[in-house]
Amino acid sequence: MRTLLLLSWKNIWRNKGRSLALMMAIILGIAAGLLMFGLVAGLVMQRFNGLVENHLSHIQIHHKDYLREQENKMILPNPEQIRQGLEGLPNIKGYAFRTLSFGMLASGYNSSGVKITGINKAEEEGISKFKDNIIDGEYLDESLRNPLLISQRNARKLRVQLGGRVVLTFQNLEGDLTSAAFRVSGIFRTSDSNFDDLNVYVNQADLQELLGENEAYHQVAILLDSRDEAENIAGLLSEKLPEVDIRSWSALSPELRILVEQGGFIMYIFMIIILLGLSFGILNTMLMAVFERVQELGMLMAIGMTKVKVAAMIVLETTFIALIGGVIGVILGLGIHSLFAEEGLDLSGFADALAEFGYDAIIYPLLEAKDVGITIIMVFITAVLAAVIPAIRAVQLNPAEAVRK
């Protein structure tokens, strides 16, 4: 066995050019694969954090039927009991009670369907970074009567400016239509243009007054220390508060769950195409190498090397090349990755395009040990599999004829 290892090792360096070409292919394949994996995972993570920090949070509490029917009158029963239930739970960073209404936003020029969220600034502070999205004006200026936050997209559509007047129309808790004038206090822009089209923010007390109930809340958003705790704590809460609907982020946004679970799907297709290209390169090069070395292989067999050993030798050679290429590839990939992981990859040139998909302009690639492991194993398996056919061809040689070539 030692002889075989030594022999294969020496064989690689007999033809440096060829081995180096194969190694380069593997190095670049692995490095590029890792980088792309990191980038995609970074994008997914960024989208996740963006949604969670903007409005989703980790857990939300609603009236039993609210998420299905979304009617304004389905307010949370007994908010005081919910507050008590939340006290003393582990891993909770903060929570906020929100008042919601679906209705119509109109200016003198135009109208648009929106979801109105009534927020309590002090409570939101603890769980959301929505404030950072305000690009003009102030975050619900208290000195105005009925202040409102509108997205840049809607402001353009309705032709309103800071201080401008808009009218919100929606159903109050009695089921009657109610309208009220609001003043634009601030303009926001998130990285998700669909969200921007559909959302406006007002002060909770203003909205509650219009709904006709000072303790009207539709939603409690809860932020945890880590997203992994969400299922656990949602379960704990459900036991304490059986008469309301409590869901974790994965149940609230199936889209997000799929993104987190299957975001790598396209990457795997890409990796498979790269690996197919790689395997065919290795296969052909090793096959040519076997044909070039017919005489030598015949000689080895003639002096008594068994067929198994000849085949093993070819496979081992490929394995060595894959190992060297793999190690260097991982180092290179991780090196470039760590370069971008800190600074972030600045794609500002595509900022609007990314916003169409709901992403920010600077991407911080993210690589998990699992992805690195999978990449290495996939490349390694590919290399060994690609060596099988050349090995079989080598074994099929007839020593007597091969020596004379």
Partner 1 sequence: MNWILIFKLAWRNLWRNKRRTLITAGSILFAVILALLMDSMNLGSHEQIISNSLRFGTGYLQIQDTAYFETPSLDFAFDLDDHREAALNQLLGLHAYAVPRVESFVLAAGESETRGALVIGIIPELENRMNGFQNFLTEGEILNDDDQMVMIGSGLAQRLSLSLHDTLVVIGQGYQGMQAAGKYPIKGIISHPMEFLDNQLIYLPFEEASWLFVMDGKASHWLIMADTDKNALRVQQEIEKLLQGTELQVLHWKDLQPDLVKALAFDAVSGRIMQFILYVVIAFGIFGTVLTMTLERQKEFAILVSLGMKRHILALQCFIETILISILGVGAGIVLGFPVLFYFNRNPIPLGEGLSDLVKEYGMEPFLPFSLAPTVFIFQGVTMLILTLIITTYPVWRSLTFPVLENLRR
The residue ranges that bind partner 1 (CB under 8 A) are 15, 17-18, 21-22, 24-25, 28-29, 32, 36, 69-71, 102-104, 106, 108-114, 156-159, 169-171, 175, 177, 193-194, 198, 254-255, 257-259, 261-262, 265, 270, 273-274, 276-278, 280-282, 284-285, 287-289, 291-292, 347, 350, 352-357
Measured from the CB atom, the residue of 241 and 283 that comes closer to partner 1 is: 283
Among 363, 360, 372, 358, residue whose Cα is nearest residue 343: 363
What is the closest distance, in whole angstroms, from the C-beta atom of residue 24 to partner 1 in the complex?
Answer: 5
Measured from the CB atom, the residue of 34 and 76 that comes closer to partner 1 is: 34
Asked whether 119 and 201 are in contact (CB, 8 A), the reply is yes
What is the closest distance, in whole angstroms, from the C-beta atom of residue 349 to partner 1 in the complex?
Answer: 9
Measured from the CB atom, the residue of 30 and 76 that comes closer to partner 1 is: 30
The set of long-range contacts for 262-267, using a CB threshold of 8 Å and a minimum separation of 24, is 263/40, 263/41, 263/43, 263/44, 264/37, 264/40, 264/41, 264/371, 266/40, 267/36, 267/37, 267/40
Asked whether 317 and 17 are in contact (CB, 8 A), the reply is no
Among 177, 155, 146, 164, residue whose Cα is nearest residue 110: 155
Measured from the CB atom, the residue of 110 and 232 that comes closer to partner 1 is: 110
Cα 253 to Cα 57: distance, rounded to the nearest angstrom: 11
Measured from the CB atom, the residue of 96 and 275 that comes closer to partner 1 is: 275
What is the closest distance, in whole angstroms, from the C-beta atom of residue 269 to partner 1 in the complex?
Answer: 8
Cα 274 to Cα 271: distance, rounded to the nearest angstrom: 5
Measured from the CB atom, the residue of 138 and 296 that comes closer to partner 1 is: 296
342 contact partners, CB below 8 Å, separation of at least 6: none
What is the closest distance, in whole angstroms, from the C-beta atom of residue 292 to partner 1 in the complex?
Answer: 4
Tokens at residue 138, please?
Answer: 């102030």
Tokens at residue 295, please?
Answer: 């005489």
What is the closest distance, in whole angstroms, from the C-beta atom of residue 282 to partner 1 in the complex?
Answer: 7
Residues making up the chain, counted from first to last: 405
Please give the full DSSP string across 124-144, using - where no structure is assigned.
HHHH--GGGGEEEE-SS-TTS
Among 212, 187, 252, residue whose Cα is nearest residue 101: 212
Measured from the CB atom, the residue of 81 and 112 that comes closer to partner 1 is: 112
What is the closest distance, in whole angstroms, from the C-beta atom of residue 212 to partner 1 in the complex?
Answer: 15
Q: How far is CA 210 from the centre of its chain?
A: 39
What is the closest distance, in whole angstroms, from the C-beta atom of residue 78 to partner 1 in the complex?
Answer: 24
Tokens at residue 387, please?
Answer: 């060596």
Among 400, 322, 372, residue whose Cα is nearest residue 31: 372
Asked whether 188 and 151 are in contact (CB, 8 A), the reply is yes
What is the closest distance, in whole angstroms, from the C-beta atom of residue 89 to partner 1 in the complex?
Answer: 30
Measured from the CB atom, the residue of 188 and 195 that comes closer to partner 1 is: 195
Considering all CA atoms of the chain, what is the largest pairwise distance in Å, rounded to the nearest integer? 101
Measured from the CB atom, the residue of 205 and 276 that comes closer to partner 1 is: 276
Measured from the CB atom, the residue of 173 and 241 that comes closer to partner 1 is: 173
End-to-end CA distance of the chain: 28
47 contact partners, CB below 8 Å, separation of at least 6: 256, 259, 358, 359
Measured from the CB atom, the residue of 261 and 343 that comes closer to partner 1 is: 261
What is the closest distance, in whole angstroms, from the C-beta atom of residue 300 to partner 1 in the complex?
Answer: 18
Tokens at residue 285, please?
Answer: 């090069």
∠ CA 193-199-200, rounded to 5°: 130
Q: Beta strands 147-151 and 177-188: pairing type?
A: parallel
Tokens at residue 17, please?
Answer: 């050019």
